[in-house]
Amino acid sequence: MKHLILTTALVLSAPAAFACETVTVGDLTIQHAWSKASIGVDRPAVFYVEITNSGSSDDALVGISTPAAGMPMLHETVVTDGIASMPHAMSVPVPAGQTVQLAPGGYHGMLMGLTAALKEGDRFPVTLTFEKAGAVTANVDVLPLRSEGPDCADAGQ
């Protein structure tokens, strides 16, 4: 029985392993990089991530690129008086000493022009470019369409 529980726990936690990885560049820590399974190849996929700036100067995420999509862009979901719109975001501020989330209902990467449909369990790299810290590549886990985020032991969400 103990073995069964342990195995189940391992199997359940395995898909979230990459999203729970941490990469750093300068004073920035990037973790919880995840996406959702896409519906075919013609509709855009999404990219979410968490960025912590432990330094003393502000930075900003100014772009993303990935071999998984021809046209990845930063967007922000804005709900005003019950109306949702998703304007293009020129950059996502990452203020000194703060953690910024690209998460459902807020900032997110919109991955247009997918090279292949994203399937649950897939992994792909996304390179994040910051105004000051430069570029860093994170591995993104494709979670189920209905997922609300990676299940990491240290996930502060």
| Contacts to another protein by CB under 8 A | 36-37, 39-40, 42-46, 71, 73, 75, 77, 79, 82-88, 104-105, 108, 110-112, 145-148
CB of 140 to another protein, least distance (A): 14
**Which C-beta is closer to another protein: that of 32 or that of 108?**
108
What are the backbone dihedrals phi and psi of residue 14, each rounded to the nearest 5 degrees, phi first? -55, -45
Among candidate residues 37, 23, 80, 28, the one with its CA nearest the CA of residue 56: 28
CB of 124 to another protein, least distance (A): 15
Q: What is residue 125's three-state secondary structure?
A: strand
**Which C-beta is closer to another protein: that of 118 or that of 133?**
118
**Which C-beta is closer to another protein: that of 121 or that of 134?**
121
113: left (phi over 0), alpha (psi -120 to 50) or beta: left
CB of 108 to another protein, least distance (A): 5
**Which C-beta is closer to another protein: that of 85 or that of 98?**
85
Q: How far is CA 11 from CA 14, 17, 48, 78, 140, in A?
A: 5, 10, 23, 36, 18
**Which C-beta is closer to another protein: that of 3 or that of 146?**
146
- Residue 138 CB burial class (10 angstroms; 0-12, 13-18, ≥19): buried
CB of 134 to another protein, least distance (A): 24
Q: Helices in the chain by DSSP H: which ranges?
A: 2-13
CB of 58 to another protein, least distance (A): 25
